[in-house]
């Protein structure tokens, strides 16, 4: 049933791996969700806890997913079936493929909004609008169903166009262009934001921890954000791991990707909070921070037209790099398990997801259900089962042998085993219970 190893596409090298995998992790979750979650939970103290969880929990779990994919050299479904033949662990793969379908369905709708805001920014359509008028624009985008559907379909078409060309000639090639572009744009926004009068208040909010704001809910929110922002539990890291050559360091790659993901999230905060404080906006505006608060700021800012356009282009690039990885999870399954040609598999998968996206655009309840099931059930449960699988199911030498396949001794291996045997399962279980409202 599996494709021959020699016929499989691979990343060409470390830069391609980091660009593509970091692109998966760096999405709307970093630039849209992370700043407002940080704003709602007290700023700097939340940031410190988040960084701790990324290092202690996120990196070891990412290594676990990488090693499963690279050892099996198969899609997320085929990998578990190969490594645990005759057992039911392949259901983790089923969950991963299912999560990719559901996440990309509602994610493509939000990504479509970002494309519409690029258009609005390009045409200067929000210039001179009052705050209430800008809020009305956002509500109109959400409520005009045909408009949402059109942008959703356009976004999915662009995602499919990139994925259809394969790993090295498609995903890697575009990631090497999109990721530097994303970084340059966010640095330009940072420079403008921190040079505004009153920006120091926003920087203080971001980097000065106020531990009086820390509650058990804030800690769990930070843990959940660290887990979800790294694309863990959705099949992406296992799938990308299967394209990593044996001479690449899995530990080094996981650390590099996590650092890149975290740096972009921080830079997004630096772009947003100094500007918000400079213009007297509240930092805890929820999702409306990006689509309502920031357009208000750009209207008041010298050079606001340029920086507003750059910001929404940034959002669109971040959405695209993540959607590429999610679509690849499904395409890898279709090509290796259903034996479809890559181009055929890509357009079929994109078509199915686009149809689901239309339902999300038409019905807020469907959108919410897809978000809830994937975020609160499939992802944490998948991540929990992955770490259990690596330490308790794979043969004793398999994890270490795969981690050290690059020929270098993994001095961190003892800590890695301790974390994924004991700490990670407890942490992910807490995220799971918190997401379900049981904690």
101, 352 in Cβ contact below 8 A?
A: yes
Tell me, what's the pLDDT at 234?
A: 86
Q: What is the pLDDT of residue 223?
A: 87
Q: What does DSSP assign to residue 434?
A: H
6 pLDDT above the threshold of 60: no
Residue carrying structure tokens 């961190």? 412
For 326, the token pair is: 């999610």
DSSP collapsed to 3 states, 72-131: HCCCHHHHHHHHCCCCCCHHHHHHHHHHHHHHHHHHHHHHHHHHHHHHHHHCCCCCCCCH
The phi-psi region of residue 130 (left if phi > 0; otherwise alpha if psi is between -120 and 50; otherwise beta) is beta
Q: From CA 33, how far away is CA 435, in angstroms rounded? A: 16
pLDDT confidence of residue 121: 94
**3 has a pLDDT exceeding 60:** no
Give the pLDDT score at 5.
42
Note the pLDDT of residue 396. 66
Q: What is the pLDDT of residue 409?
A: 92
Q: Is pLDDT at 257 greater than 50 in this prediction?
A: yes
211: domain CATH number is: 1.10.4160.10
pLDDT for the residue 332: 95
CA distances from residue 28 to 234, 288, 290, 332 in whole angstroms, order as listed: 16, 13, 10, 23
Q: Is the pLDDT score of 4 beyond 50?
A: no
* Predicted confidence band of residue 285 (pLDDT cuts 50, 70, 90): low
Average confidence (pLDDT) over 129-149: 89
Name which residue leads in pLDDT, 423 or 232: 423
Name the most confidently modeled range: 34-43, 47-56, 296-305, 340-349: 340-349
User: Does 301 score more than 90 pLDDT?
Assistant: no
pTM of the predicted protein model: 0.91
The residue among 70, 430, 14, 6 whose CA lies nearest residue 223 is: 430
> Does residue 33 carry a pLDDT above 80?
no
Average pLDDT over the chain, rounded to an integer: 89
Q: What pLDDT, on a 0 to 100 scale, did the predictor assign at position 1?
A: 40
Q: What is the pLDDT of residue 119?
A: 95
pLDDT for 304 equals 87
At 50-94, the pLDDT tens digits run 999 999 999 999 999 999 999 999 999 999 999 999 899 999 999
pLDDT of residue 225: 85
Number of domains in the chain: 1
Domain range enclosing 100: 5-435
248: left (phi over 0), alpha (psi -120 to 50) or beta: beta
More confident residue, 140 or 157: 157
Q: Is-contact 158 104, C-beta < 8 A?
A: no
- Cα–Cα dist 159/140, whole Å: 25
Which tens digits make up the pLDDT trace of 327-366?
999 999 999 999 999 999 999 999 999 999 999 999 999 9
* Span 175-230, pLDDT tens digits: 999 989 988 999 998 998 899 888 899 898 888 888 888 888 889 888 888 887 88
Q: What is the pLDDT of residue 284?
A: 65
């Amino acid at each position: 049933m599996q494709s021959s190893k020699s016929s499989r596409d691979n990343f060409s090298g470390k830069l391609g791996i980091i660009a593509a995998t970091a692109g998966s992790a760096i999405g709307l979750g970093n630039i849209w969700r992370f700043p407002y979650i940080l704003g709602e939970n007290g700023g700097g103290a939340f940031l410190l806890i988040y960084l701790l969880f990324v290092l202690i929990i996120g990196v070891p779990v990412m290594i676990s997913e990488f090693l499963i994919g690279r050892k099996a050299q198969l899609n997320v479904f085929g990998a578990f079936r190969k490594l645990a033949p005759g057992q039911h662990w392949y259901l983790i793969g089923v969950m991963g493929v299912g999560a990719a379908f559901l996440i990309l369905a509602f994610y493509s709708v939000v990504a479509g909004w970002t494309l519409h805001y690029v258009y609005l920014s390009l045409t200067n359509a929000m210039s001179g609008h009052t705050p209430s008028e800008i809020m009305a624009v956002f509500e109109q985008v959400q409520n005009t169903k045909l408009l949402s559907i059109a942008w959703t379909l356009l976004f999915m078409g662009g995602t499919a166009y990139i994925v259809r060309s394969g790993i090295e000639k498609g995903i890697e090639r575009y990631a090497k262009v999109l990721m530097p572009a994303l970084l340059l744009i966010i640095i330009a926004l940072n420079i403008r934001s921190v040079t505004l009068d009153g920006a120091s208040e926003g920087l203080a909010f971001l980097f000065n921890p106020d531990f009086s704001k820390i509650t058990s809910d804030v800690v769990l929110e930070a843990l959940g954000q660290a887990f979800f922002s790294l694309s863990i539990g959705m099949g992406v890291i296992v799938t990308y791991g299967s394209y990593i050559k044996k001479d690449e360091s899995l530990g080094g790659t996981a650390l590099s990707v996590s650092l890149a993901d975290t740096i972009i999230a921080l830079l997004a905060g630096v772009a947003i909070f100094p500007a918000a404080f400079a213009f007297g906006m509240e930092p805890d505006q929820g999702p409306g921070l990006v689509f309502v608060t920031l357009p208000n700021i750009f209207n008041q800012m010298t050079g606001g037209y340029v920086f507003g356009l750059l910001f929404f282009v940034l959002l669109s690039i971040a959405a695209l790099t993540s959607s590429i990885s999610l679509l690849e999870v499904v395409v890898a399954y279709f090509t290796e398990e259903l034996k479809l040609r890559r181009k055929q598999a890509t357009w079929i998968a994109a078509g199915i997801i686009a149809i689901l996206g239309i339902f999300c655009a038409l019905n807020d309840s469907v959108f919410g259900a897809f978000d809830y099931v994937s975020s609160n059930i499939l992802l944490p449960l998948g991540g929990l089962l992955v770490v259990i699988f690596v330490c308790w199911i794979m043969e004793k030498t398999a994890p270490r042998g795969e981690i050290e396949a690059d020929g270098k001794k993994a001095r961190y291996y003892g800590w890695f085993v301790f974390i994924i045997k004991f700490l990670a399962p407890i942490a992910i279980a807490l995220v799971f219970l918190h997401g379900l409202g049981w904690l």
